[in-house]
Structure 1
Amino acid sequence: MRLVDMKNATTLPDRRCTSGHHEVFSGTEHRKAEQTLLKFVSTPQAHEIFKLPRRWLQGKLPHRRQRAALFVGLCLTWLIAFTIFSGASIMPTKVDGTYQSVQQLSCTDSFWATDGGCGIDGAKCAGSSAGSMAFHCPPDCGSTRLQAPYLVGPQEIVDRPLVIGGPIYRADSWICPSAVHAGTLDDARGGCGVVTRMGQTNSYPGSNGNGIASIAVKTYFPRSFKFQLDSEFECRVVDQSWVLPYISATFTGLVVLFTTSAEVFYFTSFGVGFMYVTSTINPAARVGSLNDDDDGSMVSKVAKLMLAFGCAILAFRYSARHVLRSNAPSAQPLLWLGSFWVTLCFKANIEGHDRLTAAVLFLIALQQIYHLSAERRLYEPLSLCIISLSLVAAIVSVAFPRLQATAQISMPVFLLVLFRRHVVQARLLNLSHGLLIGLCVYNLSHLDISTVLANFILPAATTAQSAYTRSSSLDTPRILDPVIHINYGSSNISFAWKTPAPAGVDGISMLVNDVERVRRYFEPQNEKKGDIADGLEWVRTPQAVPDYIRFSWVQGDRLVGWGDVGVWETKGSWSGIGNI
């Protein structure tokens, strides 16, 4: 690697590029060098050797369309192999006389969308009301705990497994901890079993079983499930996902050897790397797909893909194209690709590396400072600004663990912008650039975009905590004394609320026994009046269990948060809000 006078296209003495000190020159040579633009240039290694694959391909397929067809075929071959080997698989098993695939569950999967995704009366989860399903659970699900308060009748449950009832369990119970509670599975090793979905059950008693205490609630719920006794069967999980990085790295390596286009090489590597990291986040199939409410999940995936595509374009436009175009054909694109894949595999498969990553980024920042100083670009305002932001992000990432995620997303971006300040032709800088692109791909793959969508784009995609607990500074609705009619065949209770409703509120919703039953949007001409004619009504037939009722304001399609509970007793009396 040597420094070149870009104005006169002359190579400065070797002692200048080895020492890195400006004072090596003296007299006229020193003053002239200060007025010229210097840039690092590396001598390509095995330059002619790396041209051979491209010359061979152009000889065999001289037309551009032929090479494009070969590239498309290679992409399809990789995609088929990626699909076959991604995730884990279990042989189908016989359930109720028919063979069906075994659903691979996480410890918190359930038959009920706890984020309000089942809709009014749970209608969107009606498809899960009957039938049996074979499933597989990972080990140690009994230790999984609720991290946020969860409403179960008059209770707010937190810091325990979500297991309601037994041996018949409420549909929003986590399936795997429930299977451990029922004795179907051994918590230490996980395993397979068969679960049968049912309709409404009127009461769910609590009990202790296999180290898990289930939650008791004496009221009905529209969906339930139970486990078939002695339904555990031997299932061997075949996980072939370890092959994916080898297949993907080989594919991108072939692309870099045979292509002459930096765009093809870069975007292929970015896309393949993004798919690989995404497949390692959550490879198991989700039971949530049984609920007919995959719209929010699909929109989140599409939004994340679009965001990644946009970031890939920006990174190429302002950074990568200057690196890759100045290096091909040589060994340096392979150095870039090697560091890219090492970063992805390291981050995806090894935990506890946050501070190590921050330290590596800090070293890259120092490396950039050195090269910019040698090229006399260090004191440009943009360079100083980006370097300062990068160093601050590195220090924050090491000193404040809570801010590591934010700092480690922003710092690679700052450093990539810094690469724009000069066309990199140093081998070590190629390694650094590949590492930074790998970090960007990893961070984009792990970005929780659903939170952004819930707050700004798709208010309906609320989280479990925001929908079931208070998550806003708005007060909950102040409910007036209801009007109750007791009849022989059916009874009804009608609610009104104190007006005016807070600014920014679009409606009101009523939760009955942990299921959203009524949602009323305010008509503009009514000016949010809460009289009985425009109020909320709940009708029921004679029953042996009480109704637990809560209320929440609605903003757009988003629930602000449920308030305290009121109880409509079996004999028709009303307890009032928060009086139990």
Structure 2
Amino acid sequence: MVPKSDDIEMRLISDIADKGKSDVSSSGSSGTSLSERSYSFESSKVNRPKSVFRKLLDAILSVYKGSEKPSDSPPSFGNNIFRALEEFPRKLSFLLPNKLKILIIVCFSLAWVLTLRSILFPYLSAPPFYKDSESGQSEKIITLSCGHESLFWRGENDACGLNAKKCGSRDTGPLSKSPIAIRCPAFCDYSSRTFASLPVGNQTVKYRSYYIGGGKVEKDPHYLTLPYRADSFPCAAAIHAGLISPEMGGCAFLEFTGPQYYFNSTSGRNTMPESIGFDSFFPESFRFVKHPGTCIRCKDPRILAESINIVFGFLAIYSLDGLTGFWMVCISHFWTVLLSFDPPLLVDPARLDSIPELLSLGFRRFLPLCFMLFAVWKGACNITLTEPTSQVCKAFIWYPLFCVGMLNNVTFDRLPLDRLTPSDIREMPGSMTVCIILLVITITCVIIQAFQLWKAGRIGGCICGYALLIIIISYLSRIPGLEFRLHHYVIGLILIPGTRTKGITAFIFQGLLLGLAVNGVTRWGFSSIEETNLSLLRGDSAGRMAPPSFLGYTASNSSITWYSPLTEENQLYEKTGNGKSAKPRGEDDWFSLLVNDIEVYHGPDLSVNLENLSDTNKQFGELLNASLSETRGSDQDINLYLRVARISAGSHKRSSYTRSALLIYPGGEFHHESKGST
């Protein structure tokens, strides 16, 4: 008979009970109970020491997973005033119907746009002019940028041609009038700095405003300043003389005053540094003059426009929901900065295509910017700015720091820091110190925000994302012939995803980074993160061939001699017995000789006699003799600064110029140029 299932179960239970009794009796005979043995086994299992690898793995996993009890709440305020400010927008939004809220937002936006238009449109579209108090006629004013102006001086080295005939005062055109009225924009105290190396005699000027000589003159019936060398930046010179406000811009009158035989360094006004000194002659100069005219539309309204923009933006970010306020302040600041506060192009109302060209550039950057803002909103800003959030932190922390980043040309750009490339950091004084300070601050902020992400339970995704990003950047930075560039918008896009929390640190870091990102796109566009070494060059980058070298000066025949060595790019050169040659097969290369930064000789010779050159080049001879007459009364020689470049016979491309050699003339003392080129 087959046993029933109930009988089988009863037998199994009985067997287990009998076995338990036998185990208990055996354990009792040994003096240790079953429970004690079980406890001893578990204790030995718990107290077993973990390996270092296991401890490290557990620590990494605990960091990756985040806090066991994730929390991410916006800041709360116990003060009654802050609590009332916090609740006011919510209460107002609850009381108003949706249709009325939409109507209010539309009217608010129209008032915002029309107010800015009424301020900016007259300055941007209507040409400035002045009324002559004597004749009563209206004359045009030339609108200039802060930096180099080719209308006044085409450029350095040989850009102005032999004896600078292509530069300075003209027989025809706007420079033929005297005086010449100019209008300068705001912030030229900083924007007039040169970031390319400009030679001035034996000096190399870089990272400073470019004006030579000049200075204010008191109690003169006609002139307001001493002469400035003609290649000086006019707006920078006007601010240096105290004639134009660095914050508001303005108008001034200048006239060309011909050759000068020295330019002393003079102290500046409006916190401008001393001017650059030059102790030899130059064929052209200009001075600022008095003029009994009334200037119209000279003051730059960008500070007023941006101030009004900030006020409207504050009301938007405080009163509206996070999404609406985010888009309104980003779009408004983009167009305000592009049109007035830091425009990428000079707006000259006298040119009919000036404003359309700037607007076209703005729309070219605006649509990609909107896609970037959409990604930033979805990736980080929606967590910080949407409910539950803090209206007080949005308005008083996030938004002010957004404006600080957005107005980069008057905030971070004023730091002694140019581009984040090794060569620029080495060359700019104070740049290394600023880089170290910013790096320490950035690392500190990253650690603080990483802790907030850990508390919110969101650090795992950030760790994976940034690890992958580091690998990608490491690869990109090793591509031959290219240099990885951290532009403003790149820095913002990299760091903003790490602000995906609701704490007060997210409001601080996110606002600043977003402002920098939008400003970078507004001012410079979506520049490539990988740029060629050639594209990073500034100023005169013509020198792709090796320049000649001076051999010296022969006092007996007043001759300056140089030689041009064989170089890899010109294999037509024939070698002599000692391995050197100055003559190619076929055509000769030509040479360009500069004296005091002006081209005075252009030809095939490897030697120039200064006395013969003075006879053949009449203008140079007159300048040289007049300069000697100015100083011979005190039995002093004059300094001549010499630089030479080679011009390829086949391609007509020229090399860089040598650095300046110094000839003390007519004494004959010669000092060779230092290594390098300009």
TM-score by length of 2: 0.47
The alpha-carbon deviation at position 80 of structure 1 amounts to: 0.4
1:416 aligns with 2:496: yes
Partner of 1:248: 309
Gaps of 5+ in 1: 1-32, 62-66, 390-404, 481-494, 521-529, 532-537, 568-574
Partner of 2:645: 551
Partner of 1:561: 656
Q: Aligned match of 1:163 in 204, 212, 218? A: 212
Quote the Cα distance in structure 1 between the aligned partners of 2:447 and 2:599. 56
Equivalent pair of 2:487/2:527 in contact (CA under 8 Å): no
Q: Over residues 341-370 of structure 1, what are the superposed CA-to-partner deviations in whole Å (9 max), with x where a residue is unaligned?
A: 311444646678879977775565345323
1:94 aligns with 2:137: no
Shift in CA distance, 156/114, structure 1 to aligned 2, threshold 3 Å: farther
Q: Over residues 268-295 of structure 1, what are the superposed CA-to-partner deviations in whole Å (9 max), with x where a residue is unaligned?
A: 4223334555678769997x97999x99
Q: Aligned match of 1:57 in 100, 109, 116? A: 100
1:376 aligns with 2:417: no
Q: Over residues 481-513 of structure 1, what are the superposed CA-to-partner deviations in whole Å (9 max), with x where a residue is unaligned?
A: xxxxxxxxxxxxxx999576359xxxx996565
1:434 aligns with 2:490: no
Quote the Cα distance in structure 1 between the aligned partners of 2:378 and 2:229. 53
Quote the Cα distance in structure 1 between the aligned partners of 2:643 and 2:133. 39
Quote the Cα distance in structure 1 between the aligned partners of 2:307 and 2:195. 37
The alpha-carbon deviation at position 377 of structure 1 amounts to: 3.8
Q: Over residues 500-535 of structure 1, what are the superposed CA-to-partner deviations in whole Å (9 max), with x where a residue is unaligned?
A: 6359xxxx9965655689999xxxxxxxxx99xxxx
2:457 alignment partner, SS class: coil
The alpha-carbon deviation at position 331 of structure 1 amounts to: 6.0
2:331 alignment partner, SS class: helix
The alpha-carbon deviation at position 243 of structure 1 amounts to: 3.4
Q: Aligned match of 1:196 in 237, 255, 264? A: 255
Quote the Cα distance in structure 2 between the aligned partners of 1:334 and 1:38. 24
Quote the Cα distance in structure 2 between the aligned partners of 1:35 and 1:209. 64
Shift in CA distance, 551/418, structure 1 to aligned 2, threshold 3 Å: same
Quote the Cα distance in structure 2 between the aligned partners of 1:34 and 1:346. 32
Quote the Cα distance in structure 2 between the aligned partners of 1:291 and 1:478. 46
Partner of 1:206: 262
Partner of 2:569: 501
2:644 alignment partner, SS class: strand
Partner of 1:215: 278
Quote the Cα distance in structure 1 between the aligned partners of 2:97 and 2:160. 57
Q: Over residues 243-273 of structure 1, what are the superposed CA-to-partner deviations in whole Å (9 max), with x where a residue is unaligned?
A: 33442134335655897793x6444422333
Quote the Cα distance in structure 2 between the aligned partners of 1:443 and 1:91. 34
1:501 alignment partner, SS class: coil
TM-score by length of 1: 0.53
2:397 alignment partner, SS class: helix
1:273 aligns with 2:367: no
Q: Over residues 73-105 of structure 1, what are the superposed CA-to-partner deviations in whole Å (9 max), with x where a residue is unaligned?
A: 456425404516989x99945389443466687
CA RMSD of aligned residues (A): 7.0
Shift in CA distance, 123/275, structure 1 to aligned 2, threshold 3 Å: farther
Equivalent pair of 2:302/2:341 in contact (CA under 8 Å): no
Quote the Cα distance in structure 2 between the aligned partners of 1:140 and 1:435. 25
Shift in CA distance, 185/210, structure 1 to aligned 2, threshold 3 Å: farther
Partner of 1:571: none
Quote the Cα distance in structure 2 between the aligned partners of 1:519 and 1:409. 46
Partner of 1:396: none
Shift in CA distance, 372/102, structure 1 to aligned 2, threshold 3 Å: same
Partner of 2:547: 476
Of structures 1 and 2, the larger Rg is shown by 2
Quote the Cα distance in structure 2 between the aligned partners of 1:86 and 1:553. 45
Q: Aligned match of 2:120 in 71, 83, 95? A: 83
The alpha-carbon deviation at position 231 of structure 1 amounts to: 4.3
The alpha-carbon deviation at position 205 of structure 1 amounts to: 1.8
The within-5 A match list for 1:319-334 is 319-320=377-378, 323-324=381-382, 328=386, 332=390
The within-5 A match list for 1:247-396 is 247-253=308-314, 262=323, 265-276=325-336, 310=368, 313-320=371-378, 323-324=381-382, 328=386, 332=390, 335-336=393-394, 338-346=396-404, 348=407, 364-380=445-461, 382-383=463-464, 385=466
Gaps of 5+ in 2: 1-64, 77-85, 215-224, 268-274, 416-433, 471-484, 552-562, 572-588, 606-612, 625-641, 663-669
Q: Over residues 403-426 of structure 1, what are the superposed CA-to-partner deviations in whole Å (9 max), with x where a residue is unaligned?
A: xx969876644331224xx6x455
Quote the Cα distance in structure 2 between the aligned partners of 1:266 and 1:315. 9
1:550 alignment partner, SS class: strand
Residue identity (%): 13
1:545 alignment partner, SS class: helix
Equivalent pair of 1:169/1:226 in contact (CA under 8 Å): yes
Shift in CA distance, 238/54, structure 1 to aligned 2, threshold 3 Å: farther
2:371 alignment partner, SS class: helix
The alpha-carbon deviation at position 317 of structure 1 amounts to: 0.8
Q: Over residues 201-232 of structure 1, what are the superposed CA-to-partner deviations in whole Å (9 max), with x where a residue is unaligned?
A: 6x542254866786365675xxx454476548
Amino acid at match of 2:546: D
The alpha-carbon deviation at position 375 of structure 1 amounts to: 4.0
Shift in CA distance, 325/463, structure 1 to aligned 2, threshold 3 Å: same
Equivalent pair of 1:90/1:235 in contact (CA under 8 Å): yes
Q: Over residues 530-572 of structure 1, what are the superposed CA-to-partner deviations in whole Å (9 max), with x where a residue is unaligned?
A: 99xxxxxx9x976252697732579x999762236899xxxxx
Quote the Cα distance in structure 2 between the aligned partners of 1:148 and 1:177. 16
1:463 alignment partner, SS class: coil
Equivalent pair of 1:149/1:156 in contact (CA under 8 Å): no
Equivalent pair of 1:510/1:517 in contact (CA under 8 Å): no
Amino acid at match of 1:324: N
Shift in CA distance, 359/257, structure 1 to aligned 2, threshold 3 Å: same
The alpha-carbon deviation at position 176 of structure 1 amounts to: 6.3
Q: Over residues 101-131 of structure 1, what are the superposed CA-to-partner deviations in whole Å (9 max), with x where a residue is unaligned?
A: 6668788665214368968788699755422
The alpha-carbon deviation at position 55 of structure 1 amounts to: 0.9
Shift in CA distance, 516/449, structure 1 to aligned 2, threshold 3 Å: farther
1:271 alignment partner, SS class: helix
Shift in CA distance, 407/360, structure 1 to aligned 2, threshold 3 Å: farther
Shift in CA distance, 369/501, structure 1 to aligned 2, threshold 3 Å: closer
The within-5 A match list for 1:224-235 is 224=284, 226-227=286-287, 230-231=290-291
The alpha-carbon deviation at position 448 of structure 1 amounts to: 11
